[in-house]
């Protein structure tokens, strides 16, 4: 006997998969946009980055790279490298630390040790939807550099859709990663 499915009375959204998003990207569908991300199956256009955002991002990247070298860490920092979060996520965080810097395609999720977003106009998204995405994916540590409040929201110990542990570190104070051995930054110049 054929199973009867209930009729939909309203349109339902379709979650894009990573492969769908990449196919659209390769076809040029996003050429008119500076940057897009796939978050929970939905495509989001990202705003242009203004100087304060770009300046903080590069200062953090420089400090992280120097600290990783000094600690002789096997990790490498990347700026805006897209991460594959199966099955419906391709975020492009401002900075990502990975144990697999070489290779083709998206950054593999198991290689990601730390993700950093710089928030000038995106704080609610970065502390909300993106924190949930990264925690659910099991990314061990997540930082949000909050330009307005001049703090770094540091989160670790992902449990479900949230991070169980968090603290705020004011710009100007040192910050030490909880999950990345030897990663200690001075934020005096931020």
Residue 88 pLDDT exceeds 70: yes
15 pLDDT tier (thresholds 50, 70, 90): very high
Quote the tokens at residue 55.
């300046």
**Alpha-helix residue ranges (DSSP H) falling in 27-174:** 51-70, 123-127, 129-137
Domain ranges of the chain: 50-185
In Å, how far from its chain's centre is CA 51? Answer: 20
Beta strands in the chain (DSSP E): 36-39, 42-45, 76-79, 83-84, 95-98, 107-108, 112-119, 141-146, 151-159, 162-170, 175-176, 184-185
Q: Work out the average pLDDT over 57-69.
A: 97
Average pLDDT, the chain: 94
- Residue 14 backbone phi and psi in degrees, to 5: -110, 125
- Omega before 99 within 30 of 0, i.e. cis: no
Write down the residue that tokens 């196919």 correspond to.
Answer: 23
CA separation for the pair 184, 66 (Å, rounded): 10
Residue 1 pLDDT exceeds 60: no
Model pLDDT for residues 124-168, shown as the tens digit of each residue: 999 999 999 999 999 999 999 999 999 999 999 999 999 999 999
Partner residues linked to 170 by β-bridges: 151
The reply to whether CATH 3.90.1570.10 applies to domain 50-185 is yes
Has this prediction a pTM greater than 0.85?
yes
5 pLDDT tier (thresholds 50, 70, 90): low
């Amino acid at each position: 006997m054929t199973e009867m499915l209930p009729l939909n009375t309203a349109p339902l959204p379709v979650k894009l998969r990573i492969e769908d998003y990449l196919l659209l990207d390769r076809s040029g569908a996003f050429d008119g946009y500076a940057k897009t991300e796939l978050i929970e199956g939905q495509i989001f256009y990202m705003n242009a980055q203004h100087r304060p955002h770009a300046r903080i991002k590069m200062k953090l990247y420089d400090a992280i790279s120097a600290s990783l070298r000094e600690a002789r860490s096997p990790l490498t920092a990347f700026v805006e490298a897209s991460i594959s979060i199966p099955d419906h996520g391709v975020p492009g965080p401002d900075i990502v630390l990975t144990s697999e810097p070489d290779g083709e395609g998206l950054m593999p999720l198991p290689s990601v040790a730390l993700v950093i977003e710089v928030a000038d106009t995106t704080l609610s998204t970065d502390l909300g939807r993106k924190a949930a995405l990264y925690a659910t994916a099991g990314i061990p540590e997540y930082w949000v550099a909050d330009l307005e409040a001049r703090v770094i929201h540091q989160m670790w110990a992902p449990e479900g859709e949230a991070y169980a542990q968090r603290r705020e570190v004011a710009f100007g104070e040192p910050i030490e990663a909880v999950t990345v051995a030897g990663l200690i930054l001075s934020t005096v110049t931020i």
